[in-house]
A and B are shown apart, each in its own frame.
Chain A
Amino acid sequence: MSDTAVASSRSQKVFLTPRRKRQITSIILAGICAVWVYPLIWMIAASFKPNSELFSNQSMIPIDPTLENYIRAWTEANLQRYFFNTLFVTVGSVVITTLAAALAGYVLGRRAFPGKWVLMGLMVFTLFIPQGYTIIPIFQLLTNLGIGQSLWGLMLATCGHNIVIFMLLFAGYFTQIPKELEEASRMDGVGPVKTFWYVMLPLAKPIVVTVVVMQALMAWNDFLLPLVITLANPAMRTLSVGIYSFKGEHFVDWGGMTASSTIAIVPIVLLFLFLQRYFIDGLAGAVKG
């Protein structure tokens, strides 16, 4: 082989050093990321622009920045009320869903009982029913229970959305935990409830975090269910429904809408950032299981 051929093959190799490869990958990923977050940035930027500037100013940076949109949304559009409604529904449904799914998943994952697989099959079957089909029966059920027009009713209905998936996540995770841990705690004279609470649930932390984040996201952003349940009672609206009210029949208040949307996403982004590490662990763990 001639010297030049060797040299050129060597220089090719040098061009794609691992470091260079990483740089190229990073640039591509940054590009994709930019496309992804652009609407979000646009929304946040627009929320600080007066309505007159919204479509005339093509730049991201407002010429005449203002908090007027936020003030209007928070006070006039009753967003304050909606915010706490949403917080109530979200926190309540996260607590109930996580506890219920963990308890059910514990039994499904670790106990054998007659009819277990039929029960599991039925639950998995419900995953295939589109949400839209169940809204009217849920509405009726809540009305019959006397909580059809209350935040409690909305909160309970919100719990039902993903609970089957969460139960299966917990069941899969609990199945992997060695039985000796429970036996050790039985030998220690610790009852089943305390064993669940002090031994099993702490071990399922990645799944708990996953369920908390997913349920919080879902409850916070849910639109169809709160729309239907709060139709007759605007004071019960949640943020996602409330934001929709900025869209009138003939006029859309884009400024108000972007400001209220920004208000709506901040808590959920914060939650995610706070729990991000565990969340990823949980998903990885769930795949393993």
Chain B
Amino acid sequence: MSGVTLRNVKKNFGSVEVIRDVDITIEEGEFCVFVGPSGCGKSTLLRMIAGLEETTSGTIEIGGRIVNDLNPSQRGTAMVFQTYALYPHMTVERNMGFGLLMNGVSKSLVKEKVAKAARILQIEKLLDRKPKQLSGGQRQRVAIGRAIVRDPEVFLFDEPLSNLDAELRVATRLEIAKLHSQLRGATMVYVTHDQVEAMTLADKIVVLRDGRVEQVGAPMDLYNNPANVFVAGFIGSPKMNFVDVNHGQLPDGRVLRLDGPNAASVATIGFRSDSLKPADQGNGMISAKVSVVERLGDAEYVHFQTPWEQELVARFPPEAEVGLDATFEFELSGKIHFFDANGRALANVMLASGAVAKPV
């Protein structure tokens, strides 16, 4: 097993740059998730590692070898496709063994490898079936089995769960996590647009936007210390609340007092739903009128309108039973994020005591 290193990797489709100068190091045995909105280039990047797309410039290294000019099959990778891509006319067993058989591996060895992979994935009873006789989840297992049989150095997953229904998605997600610990040392690169999948599976998350790496880090690292507004908004559910700060003033004209060397550069403050705490009448920082309440059982997400007509969200305990059109005042407690005019996170800033004052 071995790691993957991308250096200055670029990809153009005609004159359109889809991947711009990407540098990523994925350690051996790491579970790395590429996450980003659709069109950010995450699947293209994965396909470049697989060798299904050419790399315009830069180098891709797998296990210390530069693989730019190698065929997909010579790179030591195996891919699990979003659409499973099982051969419809072959049985599960033949689907899994097809590549090895075509490459001259002996039938008995192929059978042995297929049986072993089937045991890991608990699909031994399905070996004689055709893909159309399988459910979506079973098909996905067969597709993973086909990858395992090849004994790759690196597993590549291209949105493998997005064709499954919600319940199955959670179950299969857990199984992939189990699989990673079971295949000790297997490097896995996983593409998804779902930040929950990214948070739950990854050792390392790479957040991409418009073909660029926005931030690389461990899930909680990205959650607690996002490098910019984009990452802050993308990671975490519900989305982080952002409020614009214009020359030290909130949108309604009140002054926001900040301390620290970078205080003057703050253009946006961000806070998660659990950083909003109800305050006594007259003491709050933000007054709110409830517009939608989402009851999830373990929490209530209360969406409300600020006086400057922005929608924000606050997390309440489940027993709160907030009613529609109720009014609140909130104060900020817990972690507050500060960003400059370019959206970059600012360190060394904090709210001053008695942070909000009436307009001057």
Residues in A lying within 8 Å of B, measured CB to CB: 178, 180-181, 183-190, 194, 198-199, 202-203, 205
Chain B residues within 8 Å of A198, by CB: 98, 102
Q: Are B87 and A189 in contact (CB under 8 A)?
A: no
Q: Are A178 and B85 in contact (CB under 8 A)?
A: yes
Given A186-B73, A188-B150, A203-B88, A180 contacting B83 (CB threshold 8 A): yes
- Chain B, 91-105, CB within 8 A of any chain A CB: 98-100, 102-103
Chain B residues within 8 Å of A187, by CB: 50, 52, 72-73, 77-79, 99
Q: Are A184 and B150 in contact (CB under 8 A)?
A: no
Q: Are A189 and B99 in contact (CB under 8 A)?
A: yes
Chain B residues within 8 Å of A180, by CB: 81-83, 85
The chain A residue with its CB closest to the CB of B158 is A180
Q: Are A190 and B89 in contact (CB under 8 A)?
A: no
The total number of A-B Cβ pairs within 8 Å is 63
Given A187-B78, A188-B98, A188-B99, A181 contacting B73 (CB threshold 8 A): no
Chain B residues within 8 Å of A190, by CB: 73, 98-99, 102-103
Could you jot down 25 A-B contacts, CB within 8 Å?
Answer: A178-B85, A180-B83, A183-B52, A183-B79, A184-B81, A184-B85, A184-B86, A184-B87, A185-B98, A186-B73, A187-B52, A187-B73, A187-B78, A187-B79, A187-B99, A188-B73, A188-B98, A188-B102, A188-B146, A188-B150, A189-B73, A189-B99, A189-B102, A190-B102, A194-B102
B12 within 8 A of A: no
Nearest CB on A from B207, distance (A): 26
Which of A178, A188, A199 is the one whose CB lies under 8 Å from B83?
Answer: A178
Nearest CB on A from B69, distance (A): 15
Chain B residues within 8 Å of A199, by CB: 87
Chain B residues within 8 Å of A183, by CB: 52, 72, 79, 81, 85
Q: Are B85 and A189 in contact (CB under 8 A)?
A: no
B71 within 8 A of A: yes
The chain B residue with its CB closest to the CB of A201 is B89
The chain A residue with its CB closest to the CB of B99 is A188
Which of B50, B81, B103, B146 is the one whose CB lies under 8 Å from A189?
Answer: B103
